[in-house]
Amino acid sequence: MKREKEANESKRQLYVLSLAAMLNDIGSHMVHASLPFFMVSVFHAGKELIGLLSAIGNACDLFSKSISGYLSDKLRKRKAFIVCGYFLSFLGKLGYTFSSFPFHAIISRAIERSGKIRDAPRDALIAESFPKRKRARAFGVLRAFDHAGAIIGSLLLIFMASNLNYRLLMLFASLFPLLSVLFVLLLAKERLPKFKRKKQKLTLRVFSREYRLFLLITFLFSLSYFDRSFLLLLIEEFKLPSFYIGLCYFVFIVTTPFSSMLIGKVGDKLGRKLAVTITYLLWPLTCTSALILNPLLLPTTFLLYGLQYGARDAIMRAFVYELSPSKWRATGISLYNLISGISVSVASLIAGSLWEFFSWQIAFTFSTLISLIAVVVFTFVM
């Protein structure tokens, strides 16, 4: 009876947090799909400025993630970080509406991405609510709700893009993370495992050899993992009709929930390593498809990207959580996010520079080669 009650409470917690994530993602995907075009049309931004915008956003993303997990573990609080994260997401999206110069948009991007302080505490809260055999599937449910929000956001974007200007679209999108704030504040509950923490200085030695090795592989792989803005800019590069923006993004966000659920089951039943290897391989396939397919088949590239993106978030969270020591779970997730974020920021700068000064083909070929090297290293060394 007690176990059944605890199981029901765990499910309730999962769905509360997942619904909050879905609401936030409705607004986020409306913003992220239109942001590069907002920068080009309003501020006449070049590819290098868009790369800088992505890099700064990723830098704030990784900084907020890196400190939130440690502080959450130290203070034994999860909910406060989640609420604060959604509020920053609201403020950042609202800021785009009133941007008069590119610098204002960059500040808004920094604030919005700082909202990622919610991620590590939220992931730890979910992981602490489920036994190991159900953990990857729980993260799969979270990602499925995330992507359901993305689907709704994409449909709203398709409907509203022809009726509203970019500034009003940003204003509308900012309302959804505000709803997430209220949702978590009123319905989510703290639920941390009880244990006595010994006084222990936090160093890398606290983490296992496997965890540290995985961080190195993560850094290498993420050097290839540029921001999705560059995939969207292929639409402009190929001079495709404007409806391809909504079409490609819709293909991407429809694919991701399926991938999240599937990879979670693969990870729980066949092992984490196989699931991570599959996830890694999907990225060079995505880049290669853009290089070799007819431009009119660009939605195929977004289909592969959707499979990779959904799988990555679902399996990596479970994998990193289990590699981390029990007393530093959220910190382990934060450190992974920090290393990944640093590398992704560099990747966006590299991709923007290669595209601007050489060609988009050079940028995508570079990413393909680096990601394949990372797959080989993970397969034979990890």
Report, as an integer, the average pLDDT of 29-58.
76
| CA pair distance 122, 103, nearest whole angstrom | 31
Task: Report the chain's C-alpha Rg in angstroms.
Answer: 20
Domain spans in the chain, listed from the N-terminal domain onward: 2-186+206-381
Buried b or exposed e, range 38-54, using 16+ CB within 10 angstroms: bbbebbebebebbbbbb
Question: Cα-flanking dihedrals φ and ψ of residue 37, to 5°?
Answer: -75, -30
Find out whether 311 and 259 touch, Cβ atoms under 8 Å.
yes
Find out whether 185 and 83 touch, Cβ atoms under 8 Å.
yes
Find out whether 231 and 302 touch, Cβ atoms under 8 Å.
yes
Q: Which residue stretches of the chain are H helix?
A: 2-43, 47-75, 79-97, 102-114, 119-127, 132-160, 166-173, 175-187, 209-222, 229-237, 243-270, 272-292, 298-323, 329-357, 360-381
46 Rama sector, left if φ>0, alpha if ψ -120 to 50, beta otherwise: beta
Report, as an integer, the average pLDDT of 273-285.
85
Report, as an integer, the average pLDDT of 133-141.
73
| Tokens encoding 15 | 């769905």
Question: Cα-flanking dihedrals φ and ψ of residue 165, to 5°?
Answer: -80, 170
pLDDT recorded at residue 179: 93
Full 3-state SS string of 76-142: CCCHHHHHHHHHHHHHHHHHHHCCCCHHHHHHHHHHHHHHHHHHHHHHHHHHCCCCHHHHHHHHHHH
| pLDDT band for position 176 (cuts 50, 70, 90) | very high
pLDDT for residue 346 is more than 80: yes
| Second-level CATH architecture of 2-186+206-381 | Up-down Bundle (1.20)
Is the pLDDT higher at 230 or at 175? 175
Full 3-state SS string of 210-225: HHHHHHHHHHHHHCCC
Mean pLDDT taken over the chain: 80
Q: What are 179-192's pLDDT values in tens digits?
A: 999 988 888 777 66
Question: Cα-flanking dihedrals φ and ψ of residue 326, to 5°?
Answer: -60, -30
Closest CA relative to residue 234, chosen from 297, 279, 284: 297
| pLDDT band for position 178 (cuts 50, 70, 90) | very high
Q: Among the listed ranges 36-40, 41-45, 149-153, 193-197, which one has the minimum average pLDDT value?
A: 193-197
pLDDT for residue 201 is more than 60: no
pLDDT recorded at residue 231: 84
Q: What are 105-115's pLDDT values in tens digits?
A: 888 888 998 88
**Helix orientation angle between 79-97 and 175-187, rounded to the nearest 10 degrees:** 170
CA diameter of the chain: 65
